[in-house]
Amino acid sequence: MSNPDTNCPFRYTEYGSGPLSKPEGDPRCLVAEATHKVKFRKGQVLFVQGEPSTSLYSLSSGVVKICSTLADGREQIIGLSHPGNLLVGLQSIAEEKYAYSAIAATPVRACRINHERLLEMVRERGDVAMSLIRVLNAQLTHSRALMEVMGHKSAGAKIASLILLMVPEHQHDNTEFNLPFSRGEIANLLNLSEETVCRQMAEMKRSGIISAPRRFVAVLDWDRLRAMADGVAN
């Protein structure tokens, strides 16, 4: 569902300034005239790889998984996005078609931003152009972090790093959050076997780093989780 909104639908009050808000902590959106507010149920598709690229999304709440379709038809999870400084679909802003698919891993609220209107505003207004540059820098930083997670770390360090990436930094003092991915999806993303993911998470539970009832994860020791992600603790 969607409807026009010229006052920045969610104003980022839950998460501080949004990616295209005014600088210096002002939550007002720079591109409100190009946005609609939208909601997605868990499992709903924001857009599909290969479809015409028309919009991008700034999340207010929820988690979106980024997927690529392989040559044999299998779906490969290649990233995730949660509220913050990232824009879902940004990589396709100058392309005719989306380079990947985006699926709501949890219930999602977002601002849908029209590609064409945003590019017009970039050409017309320097403040919008500078804000988009900041977004691009944040996107690159996030991509590098995800590449490190999927790189040459041990299985336990990969899982610990992914948990840290899945939780917005402002929530790092919270004890419990909804795990948006199944063990199988985590295995898919990290190029591990599902058995390895289950074994490593069970060891993290035994060590008192996390508790993981059903689809929730409670982080009991953030310092040890960070140390594990850095490869300096088991």
2-149 classified as CATH 3.40.50.620: no
Mean pLDDT confidence for 223-228: 90
Domain with CATH 2.60.120.10 in the chain: 2-149
pLDDT, tens only, 63-74: 888 888 777 777
* Sequence ranges of the chain with CATH classification 1.10.10.10: 155-229
Whose structure tokens read 């953030």? 222
pLDDT tens-digit readout, 92-110:
777 788 988 999 988 998 8
| pLDDT tens, position by position, 184-194 | 888 887 888 99
Which CATH number is associated with domain 155-229?
1.10.10.10
Model-level pTM? 0.68
